[in-house]
Amino acid sequence: MIYRRKEVVKKIGLVVKSDNRAMEKADEFEEWLIKKDINVIRKDITSHANSFFKKKLFAPSDLFCVFVLGGDGTFLTAARWISNQNIPIIGVKFGEVGFLAELSENNLFSAAENIINENFITQPRMRLRVQVIRNYLEYFSEAVLNDIVINKGALARLADIKTYIDDYYLTTYRADGLIVSTPTGSTAYSLAAGGPVIHPSVSGILMTPICPFTLTNRPLIVPDSVSIRIETSKKSSDIMLTIDGQEGVEIDREDKIIIKKWPYPINMITIPNQLYYNVLKAKLRWSGSRV
């Protein structure tokens, strides 16, 4: 969709990876924005991002957009900072892989000029909502852009993961774990576990078992309208639930995990003529291409 705002640009968010190159570029970019009479709200992300989220500090609602200078991990952090707000976001690659980054640092300023002048489009990326129900009460709840991982500890046996779709019993995965991901997250941990690549505009939720004991337990794509309920068996122990590889919670044997589509997508700013397939080919090194 074409993104237009009538109000004057006043505030732009900067989320910056704790990396010397990224922080130097952020300093230069911040100075450039201030010269254009734009207020800058900046968040430098350290390795202790977990504590940042526990405080539930969210982006100001009047941000025009957010620039993320870093890798995919920094982008996931920024997405949760935005929470359920309709704030466009764009990534500037300073990491290793950068599936979520639209820009390189070399074309940051030219792209930012277009964005400030409201000459850009956005594409929605679906998010999931995961809840942990303990003793009939919500114990944990979080929004997810990439994936939810339920897995055993390093010394634990195979986990027995009972899975229901809309209260219909599907199967019990005997595996090292289970990944539930969005199409955006299909190129993350799920891909490494043998899951398919799903185009971000495809409506669906991907379920990928990690090293399943039964080889017939294969990745499954279900409609994004369903509710997924996950329970672990009483003989399973040392189970963790991890959100986007950044935040985790220990799962008790009586817990119920509920996963649904969240009604608030992330609106990613896109660069004209930059196709998803070109990014995919480059990142996965298809046809001899390089990252």
State the CATH class of domain 2-118: alpha beta
Are the CB atoms for 223 and 166 separated by under 8 Å?
Answer: no
Q: Distance between CA atoms of 260 and 91, rounded to whole angstroms?
A: 26
Q: What are the angstrom distances between the C-alpha of 238 and each of 68, 177, 249?
A: 35, 12, 11
Q: Which two tokens stand for residue 193?
A: 């576990």
Beta bridge partners of 177: 151, 210
Provide φ and ψ at 174, rounded to 5°: -100, 105
Are the CB atoms for 140 and 286 separated by under 8 Å?
Answer: no
Are the CB atoms for 177 and 159 separated by under 8 Å?
Answer: yes
Residue whose C-alpha is closest to residue 67's, from 17, 117, 20, 19: 17
Q: Along the 291 residues of the chain, how does pLDDT read in single tens digits?
A: 555 555 555 799 999 998 899 999 999 999 999 999 999 999 998 764 444 445 568 999 999 999 999 989 999 999 999 999 999 999 998 766 568 888 888 889 999 999 999 889 999 999 999 999 999 999 999 999 999 999 987 666 788 999 999 999 999 999 999 999 999 999 999 999 999 999 999 999 999 999 998 888 899 999 999 999 999 876 667 899 999 999 889 998 899 999 999 999 999 998 877 778 877 887 777 876 555
| Residues recognised as catalytic | 72
Q: 127-264: which CATH topology? A: Tumour Suppressor Smad4 (2.60.200)
Instruction: Please state the domain extents for the chain.
Output: 2-118, 127-264
Give the 3-state secondary structure of residue 196. coil
Q: Distance between CA atoms of 34 and 136, rounded to whole angstroms?
A: 50
